[in-house]
């Protein structure tokens, strides 16, 4: 089969596919929602206890009865998670005011890496995790997932023909 004929058939297949299917890009709607949610979770993790029995990181606001962890490793974790929150919000601001997408992605991925690093350092202490650590982990995952969806241009494909057939079958079942 010639190359020209293959290209023509591929173009025809795409035309037929576009009639029967619609593509919904997740990038514009979900990407920045995930990134903002991840940045919010990083901020929330700085305010909540990281260890079981209400153990807070240094420089945390203590809500209710709780104690602040005093050690150099906890200070490192506190600095890392706060840096992750600040860098994450810097990435969100870069999205609004700077045209360079690569700078935004690097900033947000750095925030994600800092979140993961903070949780990894905290788990090496042997203290049971609490809400703050879990929110830091989820924040880093949301930031990473937001950038991946944007860069990979994830699309949702909906088969319209199948939906039409199901709708007509449902209508015929409901008729008396």
- How many domains does the chain contain in total? 1
Flag whether 20 is in a domain: no
Burial class (CB in 10 A: 0-12, 13-18, 19+), 123: middle
- Neighbour count for residue 15 (Cβ, 10 Å): 9
pTM (predicted TM-score): 0.71
Q: In the predicted model, is pLDDT for residue 54 greater than 60?
A: yes
Q: Give the least confident one: 5-14, 34-43, 151-160.
A: 5-14
List, in sequence order, every residue forming a beta bridge with 132; answer none if it has no partner: none
Domain ranges, residue 48: 28-155
pLDDT, tens digit (0-9, with 9 covering 90-100), for 136-174: 999 999 999 998 888 887 666 666 665 555 555 555 565
- Does residue 23 sit within a domain? no
Look at residue 172 and tell me if it is in a domain. no
Per-residue pLDDT at 25 exceeds 70: no
140: in domain: yes
pLDDT number for residue 110: 96
d(CA 145, CA 110): 13
Two structure tokens written together for 7: 């290209």
Q: Which stretch of DSSP H or E encloses residue 68?
A: strand 67-68
**Is the residue at 166 inside a domain?**
no
- Flag whether 163 is in a domain: no
- DSSP for 16-66, written as a single string: HHHHHEEEEESHHHHHHHHHHHHHHHHHHHHHS--BTTTEEPTTPPPPSS-
Instruction: Using the structure block, give the residue that is written with the tokens 């990181």.
Output: 57
Averaged over 1-7, what is the pLDDT? 51
Choose among 77, 78, 88: nearest CA to 111: 88
Query: Per residue in 75-93, pLDDT tens?
Result: 888 899 999 999 999 999 9
Most confident of 6-15, 97-106, 113-122, 144-153: 113-122
Examine the pLDDT at 13 and tell me if it is beyond 70: no
Q: Does residue 32 sit within a domain?
A: yes
**Is residue 162 domain-resident?**
no
Q: Which range, of 26-40, 101-115, 116-130, 160-174, averages the lowest pLDDT?
A: 160-174
């Amino acid at each position: 089969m010639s190359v020209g004929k293959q290209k023509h058939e591929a173009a025809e297949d795409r035309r037929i596919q576009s009639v029967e299917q619609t593509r919904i890009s997740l990038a514009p709607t979900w990407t920045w929602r995930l990134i903002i949610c991840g940045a919010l979770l990083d901020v929330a993790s700085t305010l909540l206890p990281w260890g079981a029995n209400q153990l807070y990181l240094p420089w945390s606001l203590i809500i209710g009865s709780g104690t602040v962890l005093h050690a150099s490793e906890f200070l490192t974790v506190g600095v890392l998670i706060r840096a992750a929150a600040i860098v994450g919000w810097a990435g969100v601001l870069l999205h609004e005011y700077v045209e360079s997408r690569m700078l935004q992605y690097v900033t947000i991925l750095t925030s994600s890496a800092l979140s993961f690093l903070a949780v990894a350092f905290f788990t090496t202490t042997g203290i049971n995790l609490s809400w703050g650590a879990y929110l830091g982990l989820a924040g880093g995952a949301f930031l990473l997932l937001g950038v991946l969806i944007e860069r990979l241009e994830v699309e949702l494909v909906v088969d319209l023909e199948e939906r039409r057939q199901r709708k007509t079958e449902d209508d015929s079942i409901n008729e008396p």
